[in-house]
Amino acid sequence: MALVTEAPARPARRVAEDVGVADAAFALGALALAAEATVHVQQYASLLHSVRWVGPLFLANALASVAAIAGLAYPRTRLLAALAGVVISTGALAALVVSYGRGLFGFYESGFRFAIAVAVISEVAAVIFLSTGLAAGALLAVLRAKE
């Protein structure tokens, strides 16, 4: 009969570092921001280029998303860029909700196009993934401080 021994339990910090939860979440958040930026540029080019205020805001969203993606690529700016990405995506979702209701700078959204579905999915995904990355990073910082 063979002697079965259990492997020693690994600290939570080590498990989180091995899996790279924060890095994976930030990478997925960057992909979601890229999708968001792409949809906003496409919608600007096809529909909103002549809409005062709203059209330029679509381009501003795309540029801000690209800046956040660039920030996510560097460890020194990653946390700030992730927070910026959450704000950008949350703001875009809020603007969409307002445009369906009382209107946004005189623009009223109507109907539900495929592009809106892609935008909503990418914005929600960016918020979830980037928030997960921020939470995992905070957890790792707390666990490192306890060592």
pTM for this model (two decimals): 0.82
> 9 — phi, psi (to 5°)?
-65, 135
pLDDT at 16 over 70: no
Burial pattern 38-51, b for ≥16 Cβ within 10 A else e, equals bbbbbbbeeebeeb
Six-digit token string for 40: 């906003």
Which distant-in-sequence residues (6+ apart) come within 8 Å of 119 by Cβ? 36, 39, 40, 43, 92, 96
33 contacts 71 by C-beta, under 8 angstroms: no
Phi, then psi, of 107 in degrees rounded to 5: -100, 130
Split at pLDDT 50, 70, 90, the class of 31 is: very high
Q: Could you report the per-residue pLDDT of 61-96, keeping only the tens digit for each? A: 999 999 999 999 998 999 999 999 999 999 999 988
99 in Cβ contact with 109 (< 8 Å):
yes
Domain boundaries, the chain: 21-146
Give the amino acid at 29. Answer: G
Other beta carbons within 10 angstroms of residue 20's beta carbon come to 12
pLDDT 10s digits, 102-137? 877 777 677 788 888 999 999 999 999 999 999 998
